[in-house]
Structure 1
Amino acid sequence: MNPRHHLDEATLVSYAAGAMSDGLRAVAATHLEVCGHCRQQLAFAERIGGFLLSQRQPAEEGQAQLRAQMLARLDAAPPTPPRLGGEDDAVAQTTDTDLLPRPLRPYFGSSWRALRWRWTAPGVHMIRAARPTGDNLILLKIAPGKSMPVHSHGGSELTQILKGAYDDALGHFGPGDMADLDGEVEHQPVTSPGVPCICVAALDAPLRFPGWFARKVQPLVGL
């Protein structure tokens, strides 16, 4: 697995600082299991955070200042090339194809075969997390060749592709890819032919739909 779409630097800083909800953290951790590039960037962010904390920042500067300094240092650092199928990636991935990624098991169980999908819309099935996460953590299974409604985001959304693929204005997203989105992004995912697209997503605010029909059914779907 060679992800081409990664976690944003600000997301990695939040992850390193322990400042994410449980659902967002679970999705980020799922990506980190298969992405050596993001693991390297996370390790760098953790080193920067440790260094800045060791400088004993004055209390009045606050966490916002610390976060800004961490991002500035990440921007100033030379880019880390992605690892292409390195040994770390092989160790991180399980050889049992029925096992869900480790970070998702507390919320959805350990077995793909044991999942109980709920019909949500034509060609769309969903499973909600089995325990509270402080956000909306879901598994989605979308039929091949399905166009989802155009939408934007009321807050942060992390979506990790587990199986299958989709395309939108941001590019092609396949297994291992991360869509790290915010309120500035409006898109319309279209799943690829062949097999269903299965992804895990966490949202800390409801989606925004410009179409009247999607807005009408949104309360029923709960997204």
Structure 2
Amino acid sequence: MKPTHHLDDATLLSYSSGALPAALAVVASTHLECCAACRAHLLDADQIGGMLMQQQRVDAPAHAAREVMLALLDAEPAIQQAAPPPDIVEEHDLDRLPSALHPWFGHSMRALRWRRVAPGVQRIRATGIGGGDLMLLRIAPGSKLPLHSHGGSELTVILDGAYDDMLGHFGPGDVADLDSGVHHQPVTSPGLPCICVAATDAPLVFSGWIARTLQPLFGF
């Protein structure tokens, strides 16, 4: 798979520095397993971050260093292709979950035990992870999710199936890197259920009163 939606530069910076909340870092790692472009960009961020840390010790304020790093990341990457780590599987195995998810959900897609939380929506929530909420979602084909925004950050990676929203078409490997400024309504594609892993660091903000009323029951 070759993803067309990638991690934001700011997310890569946070991931590189270890500042990304744990749940979000798991989803970022899931995308990085299948995205050579983001792995290359991450290596650039690691290298630039090391140089800026040296400079910051001398005279650079923290906010200035971050702005410099973002500007450098916008430039042409110094590394055109990163070699994937040994445990990365480039071929799409429909049963194998990405390695980053194994500690939380096991290895096999078929072995997952889903729980219905809403019409057409099933979920498995990870337990014991700090720094946000991590879950697998299985959404029936042709489903329209409630219109919503985000109370904080959200990362979602498609494992199988697809959905469309105002940001475009998201298929296997794609990541939706969203913040509180995004207001959208995903609609899953016909044919296959949309299976994704999602992490948030704050609850979603639903627009309709029915969705807001039922939100505590659904746990989103």
When the two structures are superposed, what TM-score results if normalisation uses the length of structure 2?
0.92
Structure 2 distance, partners of 1:149, 1:197, is 15
- How far off is 1:67 after superposition? 2.2
> Any conservation in 1 of the 2:149–2:183 contact (CA below 8 Å)?
yes
Asked whether the 8 Å contact 2:44–2:77 carries over to 1, the reply is: no
Q: Alpha-carbon deviations, 1:51-71, whole Å to 9, x = none?
A: 111224358823x33322211
- Segments of structure 1 that go 5 or more residues without pairing to the other structure are none
Structure 1 partner of 2:219: 222
Give the conservation status (yes or no) of the 8 Å contact 1:128–1:137.
yes
Q: Is the 1:34–1:89 contact (alpha carbons within 8 Å) kept by the matching residues of 2?
A: no
Question: Does the 8 Å contact 1:36/1:89 carry over to 2?
Answer: no
Deviations 1:48-105 (A, max 9, x none): 001111224358823x333222112212x1268987xx98499721665432110011
Name the amino acid aligned to 2:165.
D
Which has the larger displacement, 50-59 or 143-152? 50-59
* Deviating more after overlay: 94-103 vs 19-28: 94-103
Kept in 2, the 8 Å contact 1:137–1:200? The answer is yes
Q: How does 1:54-69 map to 2 (within 5 A)?
A: 54-58=54-58, 61-62=61-62, 64-69=63-68
1:168-206 Cα shifts (integer Å, max 9, x gaps): 010000000000000110000000000100000000001
Q: Does 1:100 align with 2:97?
A: yes
Aligned residue identity for 1:179? A
Aligned position for 2:15: 15
Q: Which residue of 1 aligns with 2:155?
A: 158
Distance 1:125 1:81, change over 3 A: farther
For 1:162 and 1:114, locate their aligned partners in 2 and report how far apart those are by CA, in whole Å.
15
Name stretches of at least 5 consecutive residues in structure 2 with no aligned partner.
none
**d(CA) in 1 for partners of 2:44, 2:137:** 32
1:201 and 2:195 aligned: no
Provide the rounded CA distance (Å) in 1 between the counterparts of 2:33 and 2:200.
20
Q: What is the root-mean-square deviation of aligned Cα atoms in Å?
A: 2.3
Alignment size in residue pairs: 219
Name the CA shift for 1:222/1:59 in 2 (closer, same or farther; >3 Å). Answer: farther
Distance 1:101 1:67 in 2: 31
Q: 1:189 aligned to 2:186? A: yes
In 2: Cα distance, 1:81 partner to 1:144 partner: 39
Equivalent position amino acid for 1:129 in 2: A
Residue matched to 1:180: 177
> Hey, what does 2:132 align to over in structure 1?
135
Partner of 1:3: 3
TM-score, length-scaled by structure 1: 0.91
Given that 1:5 and 1:179 are in contact with CA atoms closer than 8 Å, whether structure 2 keeps it comes out as: yes
Spell out, residue by residue over 1:35-60, the C-alpha distance to the aligned partner (whole angstroms, 9 max, x if none).
Answer: 00000100001110011112243588
Check conservation: 1:37, 1:80, Cα contact below 8 A: no
Could you say what secondary structure the match of 1:37 adopts? helix
